[in-house]
Structure 1
Amino acid sequence: MSTTAGWRLLLRLALRRDRVLAGVWIAVLVMMSVASAAATPSLYADQAARVHAAEALNASPAIVALYGPVLDVTSEGELAMTKMTVLYAVFVAVLFVVVVRRHTRVEEESGRTELVGGTAVGRNAPLAAVAVETLLLAVALGALTAVGNALSGLSAAGSMAFGGLWAGTGLVAAGIGAVTAQLSASARTCAGFAAGVIGVAFVLRAAGDTGPQWLSWLSPLGWNTQAGAYGDTRWWLLAAYPVLALVLGAVAVALRARRDLGSGLLAARPGPATGSPRLADAFTLAIRTSGTTLVLWTLAAGVMGVVFGMIAPGIGDLLDSATAQSIIDELGGELVAAILSVVAVVLTYFATTVVAHTARDETDGRAELVLATGTSRAAWFGASLVVALVGTALLLVVTGLGLWIGYVAADGPGIGNLLVAALAWVPAAWVVGALVVLSLAWGTRWAVLAWVWPAAFMVLALMGDLLQLPAWVTDLSPYAHVPAVPSEPWSWGSATALSAVAAGLLVVAWWRFRERDIH
């Protein structure tokens, strides 16, 4: 029997399982790219204004480190895709790592790969199936992005090149996910390894863009800027992505042949023979299982806050036109409020990761083992709820402190209390987090919606005006009801109302969880 026998059946199953996750993720990425492409022409009066803005971007090391340089300052497309080329490419990479991890390491950890392998399915069929799936997703993402950008007014050739960059980034990320799935012994470790590799790639690119340029060439994310999609395009560089992806895929297949099913080449460190008495408490157990994730998110939130705080004072050089300033006003008045409107959505995904882990505990049988002890349903469910919501609030606080540190370090003018500005978004993040918890409470099959809620509300908040949606539609987003602190005063009415909505959703979530069976 061939080692890839049965891959077509696994591919059909994978596409069916990922239709919501991948579909929503790709739709959000494409819409954000199209929105940026469509909005840029109206921001600047003429080419001179665009050149001035691009030169101002390149003059700020902090902005270049975050977004990458604008290689061709005369190109409208280069300016429009500044954030999309590198920063949003990281979100592309995350999608493909999630898909690969879901159908390789997670399946092995749950025991489903062993069950499937007992039939007429080859040893490498899961890898072959997920490789084809990621190829299809990459083609779809690249094609939709290229068409959307071209229809938004950017050059067709540049849009094709940019779509190729995103598709190539996805393929390389899929290869990284496949390799880390062979090295790690658990799904969580696999995610950590992959995140570390992507983080190193981002740091290398940032170091190369602000220092020795040769460092950028060592990173696939650096290729994104060096390719110059909307400038003097290096078409040959687009071929480097699939070549690297094929090399990583071959390495993954070779590593797969050298390990046993369910294990990793890097063996997991065995824990103590007897667990700590403190782990008998559900809350302590939840902290222990999510502690590493919270620490990593906290570090990332702090760094992100400092970087954005350092960028904010110099943003005035980019906003010479009244139209550009008015758009920032619509996003939150001050740039800090506009930054927080996006950061709050990103940090809400911490609650999603906690809930997703809780759902896996239930489907894999670990929740049943915990509940077989003296731990009540309320304690087990409430522990995850508290970690998710309190952790999100903590991340916003850390971001606010980071903003203040970066802003002061950059000698920014006084604009108000940045910590209070970050805290203003906590009630809205709690509403979305409560919806995430409600998705789990309704049943593990609905837990996938936990990944949808933040993205859906972000689209409503940021694209409502662009799509000319009715006010009642945009008001469905909790983020739309947050005052633009610090340019606007804190609103106790808004904070109280959003907190009450979050509390109501949590009550419904508990009622539903109490009534349903544990799977």
Structure 2
Amino acid sequence: MNAPTGTGRLVRFALRRDRRLLPLWVLFPALVPPTFVAAFNGGYPTAQARQEYLETSLHNTAFTVTYGPLHGSSLGELVSWRSGFIPVMVALISLLTVIRHTRTEEEAGRRELIGSTAVSRHADLAAALVMTCTACLVLGVLSALVLIGQGLPATGSLAYGFELAVAGWVFAAIGAVAAQLGSSAGSARGIAVVVLGTAFLLRGIGDVSALSGGRWGWLSWLSPIGWAHRLRPFEGEHWWIVALAVCATVALTAVAVALSARRDLGNGLFAARVGPAVAPPGLRSPLGLAWRLHRGSLISRTAGFAVVGLGLGGIAESIGELMNNSSPAAREVLARVGGPGTVVDQYLVGMMTMFAVIAAGYAIQAALRLRAEESGGRAEPLLAAPVDRLRWAGSHLVFALLGPTLGLTAFGTATGLAHGLNTGDLGRDLPRVLAAAVVQLPAVWLFAGLAFALFGLLPRLAAGAFAILLVSLLLGWVGGELGLSQWVLDLSVFNHIPQLPGEEPAVLPLAVLTALTAALILLGLYGLRRRDMPSG
């Protein structure tokens, strides 16, 4: 079957537009696994040490949910497992890239201009998929070559590369389908991210259930992330998973093409609801408009934090009993990750850190809603009214700080409630666990301030806040677990947060982080007042 007319030229155009961004998201995931190779060689140089690490990590629910199942203690197996979150990152980047080059272009009016030339209706969709899937393949090959260069077996290294590639392929096609469903680029991104989150959750539930001998292990097979992990690099590779992923990608692409043929340009199959002719009183201020724009994600994410908190708090006691059976060396590793408290406290510290990272991502996204409003042309008519820039920016910044606050408070309350009811000491456990969640807020707010400062000073680089969050996550989780140098650990923002509930709270680092947040917000306001708008 021939490619749609104009696909090749649109691929070249997309590559030119992404000439700075594309190399970063191809190179960065490929360069992460070698750091794990070095860390495991340095921290666990013998087979016995790696076996003890296996025994520790095998029964750690947080690790299983984050990285997937662990089956062996060889260097390749440990590195592949410890890189288990990278396929999720690749999947997220892939779906966002496809939506950016399809629905975002359509929303901005550029697709209509290009479509007036000798270009097929589906050429932009084909170009976005070709570029994204090729980039995923290059990422996979590069990752395999890097691991081979580190002395790992070629077959397992190639399987790891395909693990990244198939995750990217399937979710690129999911992004293509979402681009046809949503009424806007924002709603398309929302649909695709919900699918990715559901896939991650199904894989996590299935893997934890399989680990404990439960009956829900089959849920992992409903998740493309689960498929990628089941390639089993360095453990007897299952190459047929690649064929399964290719078939799913082709099928989803066919669905996207069929849906594209059925909808009108500028509209999605899920039509936007028609608003009232007259705006309600609540929309007569910038803060009211910001509430209207943020309320959906605010309510849904707060509820999601609470629901997940109930589940994680309910299993905390049983996880503690399981971890108590591990070796002394394994418990020493747990102490490096989760602080000086009991094994249950260490488990809770890990959960709080993980959800603080999720809350920080939410904070960045909420702060960058300002950039979306500006680049979409919606800020200009608003600022033409008697509304100054600082009021407009401050109204969105309120929700960038408030949303994560409510989310972490709900998570801490739900986790503490479930854990306290389990132990029978609600009066003691609920305040301790809630404090462990709330103490993460200064680090989360810092990322909101960082995103806002970049928006005000360097709007083109505002999305770089996500990259800084990712680096902080990797240094925090990998460094503490593998015993890296203290100066490396201190590069992670989350390493400066007290490890509650097992550690004594320290006020000074929290005050410093809060002061840095205020300084970044002031820098952002200063830059916003002085620069031109809109800034492309």
| Cα distance in structure 2, aligned partners of 1:327 and 1:106 | 45
For the 8 Å contact 2:160–2:233, the answer to whether it is kept is yes
| 3-state SS of paired residue (2:164) | helix
Displacement of 1:367 in angstroms is: 0.6
Q: Which residue of 2 aligns with 1:506?
A: 521
| Cα distance in structure 1, aligned partners of 2:423 and 2:37 | 32
Q: Higher mean Cα deviation, 226-235 or 213-222?
A: 213-222
| Cα distance in structure 2, aligned partners of 1:101 and 1:488 | 44
Q: Which residue of 1 aligns with 2:336?
A: 329
Give the number of equivalent residue pairs. 515
Going from structure 1 to structure 2, the CA distance change for 1:220 and 1:406 (only over 3 Å counts) comes to same
The answer to whether 1:189 aligns with 2:176 is no
| Cα distance in structure 2, aligned partners of 1:47 and 1:476 | 30
For the 8 Å contact 2:298–2:403, the answer to whether it is kept is yes
The answer to whether 1:445 aligns with 2:440 is no
Q: Higher mean Cα deviation, 160-169 or 111-120?
A: 111-120
Q: Which amino acid aligns with 2:442?
A: P
Could you tell me which of 353, 361, 370 is aligned with 2:365? 353
| 3-state SS of paired residue (2:240) | helix
Cα offsets for 1:41-80 (capped at 9, x unmatched): 666686677667657766678875665444x456554455
Could you tell me which of 257, 262, 275 is aligned with 1:258? 262
Cα offsets for 1:315-371 (capped at 9, x unmatched): 635852537724752665534334434432332111221233221211121111222
| 3-state SS of paired residue (2:385) | coil
Q: Which amino acid aligns with 1:118?
A: S
Q: Higher mean Cα deviation, 12-21 or 39-48?
A: 39-48
| Cα distance in structure 2, aligned partners of 1:490 and 1:434 | 23
Q: Which residue of 2 aligns with 1:418?
A: 433
Q: Which residue of 2 aligns with 1:133?
A: 131
Could you tell me which of 276, 286, 295 is aligned with 2:299? 295
Could you tell me which of 110, 113, 118 is aligned with 1:112? 110
| Cα distance in structure 2, aligned partners of 1:291 and 1:191 | 17
Q: Which residue of 2 aligns with 1:431?
A: 446
| Cα distance in structure 1, aligned partners of 2:486 and 2:47 | 33
Cα offsets for 1:2-42 (capped at 9, x unmatched): 98344344334433444555554555544554444544566
Could you tell me which of 399, 402, 405 is aligned with 2:411? 399
| Cα distance in structure 2, aligned partners of 1:230 and 1:276 | 60
Q: Higher mean Cα deviation, 434-443 or 414-423?
A: 414-423
For the 8 Å contact 1:56–1:318, the answer to whether it is kept is no
Could you tell me which of 248, 256, 263 is aligned with 1:244? 248
Cα offsets for 1:205-249 (capped at 9, x unmatched): 456543255554343233234333332322122221122112211
| 3-state SS of paired residue (1:264) | coil
Q: Which residue of 2 aligns with 1:222?
A: 226
For the 8 Å contact 2:166–2:242, the answer to whether it is kept is yes
Q: Which runs of 5+ in 2 are unaligned?
A: 210-214, 341-345
| 3-state SS of paired residue (2:462) | helix
| 3-state SS of paired residue (1:257) | helix
Give the percent of matched residue pairs that are identical in Structure 1 and Structure 2.
35
Q: Which residue of 2 aligns with 1:15?
A: 15
Q: Which amino acid aligns with 2:274?
A: P
Q: Which residue of 1 aligns with 2:379?
A: 367
TM-score by length of structure 1 reads 0.86
Going from structure 1 to structure 2, the CA distance change for 1:220 and 1:21 (only over 3 Å counts) comes to same
Aligned-residue Cα RMSD (Å) equals: 3.5
For the 8 Å contact 1:37–1:154, the answer to whether it is kept is no
| Cα distance in structure 2, aligned partners of 1:81 and 1:409 | 38
For the 8 Å contact 2:53–2:330, the answer to whether it is kept is no
Q: Which residue of 2 aligns with 1:378?
A: 390
| 3-state SS of paired residue (1:417) | helix
Q: Higher mean Cα deviation, 403-412 or 336-345?
A: 403-412
For the 8 Å contact 2:368–2:452, the answer to whether it is kept is no
| Cα distance in structure 2, aligned partners of 1:61 and 1:198 | 20
| Cα distance in structure 2, aligned partners of 1:464 and 1:16 | 37
Q: Higher mean Cα deviation, 283-292 or 140-149?
A: 140-149
Going from structure 1 to structure 2, the CA distance change for 1:35 and 1:338 (only over 3 Å counts) comes to farther
Going from structure 1 to structure 2, the CA distance change for 1:411 and 1:97 (only over 3 Å counts) comes to farther
Q: Which amino acid aligns with 2:377?
A: G
Q: Which amino acid aligns with 2:96?
A: V
Q: Which amino acid aligns with 2:404?
A: T
Displacement of 1:301 in angstroms is: 2.9
List aligned pairs for 1:17-96, cutoff 5 A: 17-19=17-19, 21-27=21-27, 29-40=29-40, 68-70=68-70, 72-73=71-72, 77-82=76-81, 84-85=83-84, 87-96=85-94
Q: Higher mean Cα deviation, 300-309 or 187-196?
A: 300-309
Q: Higher mean Cα deviation, 221-230 or 92-101?
A: 221-230
| 3-state SS of paired residue (1:485) | coil
For the 8 Å contact 2:76–2:152, the answer to whether it is kept is yes
| Cα distance in structure 2, aligned partners of 1:81 and 1:299 | 33
For the 8 Å contact 1:44–1:321, the answer to whether it is kept is no
For the 8 Å contact 2:59–2:322, the answer to whether it is kept is no
The answer to whether 1:99 aligns with 2:97 is yes
| Cα distance in structure 2, aligned partners of 1:17 and 1:214 | 41
| 3-state SS of paired residue (1:104) | helix
Q: Which runs of 5+ in 1 are unaligned?
A: none
Cα offsets for 1:393-434 (capped at 9, x unmatched): 222223323442454466599888122222222112222211
Q: Higher mean Cα deviation, 225-234 or 17-26?
A: 17-26
| Cα distance in structure 2, aligned partners of 1:163 and 1:103 | 25
For the 8 Å contact 1:21–1:451, the answer to whether it is kept is no
For the 8 Å contact 1:355–1:450, the answer to whether it is kept is no
Going from structure 1 to structure 2, the CA distance change for 1:32 and 1:410 (only over 3 Å counts) comes to farther
Q: Which amino acid aligns with 1:440?
A: F
Going from structure 1 to structure 2, the CA distance change for 1:187 and 1:206 (only over 3 Å counts) comes to same
| 3-state SS of paired residue (1:428) | helix
| Cα distance in structure 2, aligned partners of 1:204 and 1:455 | 23
Q: Which residue of 1 aligns with 2:343?
A: none
For the 8 Å contact 1:28–1:455, the answer to whether it is kept is no
| Cα distance in structure 2, aligned partners of 1:164 and 1:226 | 11
| Cα distance in structure 1, aligned partners of 2:59 and 2:464 | 41
Displacement of 1:192 in angstroms is: 2.5
Going from structure 1 to structure 2, the CA distance change for 1:328 and 1:191 (only over 3 Å counts) comes to farther
| 3-state SS of paired residue (2:139) | helix
Cα offsets for 1:275-313 (capped at 9, x unmatched): 212111211211211111223322343344445543552
Going from structure 1 to structure 2, the CA distance change for 1:350 and 1:213 (only over 3 Å counts) comes to closer
Displacement of 1:140 in angstroms is: 2.9
Q: Which amino acid aligns with 2:332?
A: Q
Q: Which residue of 1 aligns with 2:169?
A: 171
| Cα distance in structure 1, aligned partners of 2:33 and 2:347 | 20
TM-score by length of structure 2 reads 0.84
Displacement of 1:503 in angstroms is: 0.9
